[in-house]
Amino acid sequence: MSELFGTLPDGTPVHVWTLERAGTRVRILSYGGIVQSLEVPDRDGRPGDVVLGFADLDGYLTHPGPYLGALVGRYANRIAGGRFPLGELTYALEPNTPPNSLHGGERGFDKRVWDVTPVEHGVRLSRVSPHGEEGFPGRLEVSATYTLDASGALRIAYEATTDEPTVVNLTNHSYFDLGGTGGTGGHELRIAASRYTPVDADLIPTGVLEDVTGTRFDFRAARKVGTGYDHNFVLDKGVTQAVEEVAELHDPGSGRVLTVATTEPGMQLYTADHLEAPFAPGDGVALETQHFPDSPNRPEFPSTELRPDAVYRSTTVYAFSTR
């Protein structure tokens, strides 16, 4: 079902769509494809919201920086210098985190109103990103389909096509707090990644794929998340056609367990150290499935190029259980 969530300053209405199945209840906004709330039961069967979100549209308009729950694109994460080569041309993007471009620019997909169509057990969000939007080439027809499966898992399936070569990297930017009380330092995390991409002072990858052994980046065995992470992990499985499990987040207090499965080769772990009021640093953990940051400038990384004869497809599944 859908209802009015608010109205943008230009008068555009924003709706919220509610999906319920197998104990999971998720609310999705037409603005930014935002996962506004996601309720699942704890070990005692009590439902609780496990993502950070605002109660009204004004919260998202006033505090856009954290990208709470948003559908991020055209290019999730950072592009160095706000520029990248493609073919014989170099494209200049909006350097919204000077000197770099972050999450698609000043008005990325997270700040656009999407068309919403009901589908079986979910909704399909779609829009056309015109050639030149935020500096990206090509007319991009893009969709994100949110569904709940029979177990209550949330599946997000992205597709895109273009009329000329471009780059695409989409993700969801939800911050998880499985206890639903704020503060995730006690959460335990496991990531199936033997390497990560070290970054420079501007959080741009150096190009090295560093072994996690003996470092604070080794989450191959579950341990407390802690703080101080805004890094891409190189998933051992690489790019896959079908989703494969890559991470597990567990809150011992509530017993809730989040399992992440994806087709993507990377996952950004962000421990929200820079969240500001009304939230606090460390109130959530973002697990952003993705291709690597700055891939358009790094030919040694898995390619994010999309050509007119191809279809971009990416799927991530967030499954919930207790123990």
For the annotated catalytic residues, the residue numbers are 173, 288
Annotated binding residue 127: no
The H or E element spanning position 72 is strand 71-72
Nearest CA among 261, 263, 272, 311 for reference residue 291: 263
Annotated binding residue 321: no
Annotated binding residue 229: no
Query: CA 109 to CA 292: how far, in whole Å?
Result: 18
DSSP string for 190-220: EE--SEEE-B-TTS-B-S--EE-TTSTT--S
**Residue tagged 């769509």 (tokens):** 17
Sort strands 285-290 and 266-270 into parallel, antiparallel or unpaired.
antiparallel
Annotated binding residue 77: yes
Task: Find residue 101's DSSP bridge partners.
Answer: 79
Query: CA 144 to CA 127: how far, in whole Å?
Result: 9
Annotated binding residue 230: yes
Annotated binding residue 149: no
User: Cβ distance 103 to 32 under 8 Å?
Assistant: no
Question: Residues marked as binding?
Answer: 77-78, 173-175, 230
Question: Residues marked as binding for beta-D-galactose?
Answer: 77-78, 173-175, 230
